[in-house]
Amino acid sequence: MSKQTHDLLVAFSQLENEAGVKNFLKDLLTPAEIDEFSTRFQIAKLLWTTQMSYAEIADQLHTSTTTVTRVARFLNKEPYKGYKTVLTKLYPKKN
């Protein structure tokens, strides 16, 4: 991990509430970048909380099935588990 990435992670960890995160994101990213990241998170949320197909998710969110597939891969197969960590806290699955 680069020093720049580490510094960014530390900066995010200093934010204590939603307003702080929102303002930091507005300073850091363009509106288009925020929209893209928001769409990716919505894809992950729908994959986690529904039984919708990739095509249905892509249609609903006006994105490509390629993007849905990429998010699904990170949600289910990649070792980082960032999406799963957040989604488990926000939308715990009932057994």
Q: pLDDT by residue (tens digit) across 17-28?
A: 999 999 999 999
Give the tens place of pLDDT for each residue, 42-92: 999 999 999 999 999 999 999 999 999 999 999 999 999 999 999 999 999
Instruction: Identify the CATH number of the domain defined by range 3-90.
Output: 1.10.1270.10
Give yes or no for residue 95 having a pLDDT over 60.
no
The ranges assigned to domains in the chain are: 3-90
CA 35 to CA 71: how far, in whole Å?
15
pTM of the predicted model as reported, rounded to 2 decimal places: 0.91
Helix axes 54-61, 65-76, angle to 10 degrees: 120
**pLDDT category of residue 93 using cuts at 50, 70 and 90:** confident
